[in-house]
């Protein structure tokens, strides 16, 4: 799988900056654990109280199966919710 995506995101106005981990992820179609394309090495971004674009790109070989794939975000325990969001744009293609 090879893909790229971006999503506009931000914290509520006036919130102090905090970190978030952003990457492309995959999950078995039946549900279960999310696994990021980078093998645990997420890009760590500083989120602020305004909406900004956050990108991710990568390639992974998850093995045979049917997968849910998309952009994933892990809020690194900051007090504010990442709630100033808009639609994600991107693609994932199956390569052989």
pLDDT in tens, 46-91: 999 999 999 999 999 999 999 999 999 999 878 999 999 999 999 9
Number of Cβ within 10 Å of residue 74's Cβ equals 16
Q: Is residue 30 included in any domain, yes or no? A: yes
Q: Identify whether 62 is part of a domain.
A: yes
Domain assignment present for residue 95? The answer is no
Domain that holds residue 71: 2-80
Answer yes or no: is 27 within a domain.
yes
Q: Is 89 within a domain?
A: no
Outline where DSSP puts E strands in the chain: 2-9, 18-28, 35-36, 43-47, 52-59, 67-75, 89-93
Provide the number of structural domains found in the chain.
1
Asked, for residue 43, whether it belongs to a domain, the answer is: yes
Asked which of 1-10, 25-34, 63-72, 75-84 is least confident by mean pLDDT, the reply is 75-84
- The answer to whether 67 touches 26, Cβ cutoff 8 Å, is yes
Mean pLDDT, rounded, of the chain? 95
Three-state DSSP state, 82: coil
């Amino acid at each position: 799988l090879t893909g790229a995506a971006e999503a506009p995101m931000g914290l509520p106005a006036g919130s102090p900056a905090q970190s978030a981990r952003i990457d492309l992820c995959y999950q078995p179609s039946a549900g279960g654990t999310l696994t990021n394309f980078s093998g645990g090495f997420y890009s760590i971004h500083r989120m602020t109280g305004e909406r900004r674009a956050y990108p991710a790109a990568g390639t992974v070989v998850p093995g045979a199966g049917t997968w849910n794939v998309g952009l994933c975000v892990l809020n690194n325990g900051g007090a504010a919710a990442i709630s100033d969001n808009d639609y994600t744009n991107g693609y994932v293609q199956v390569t052989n």
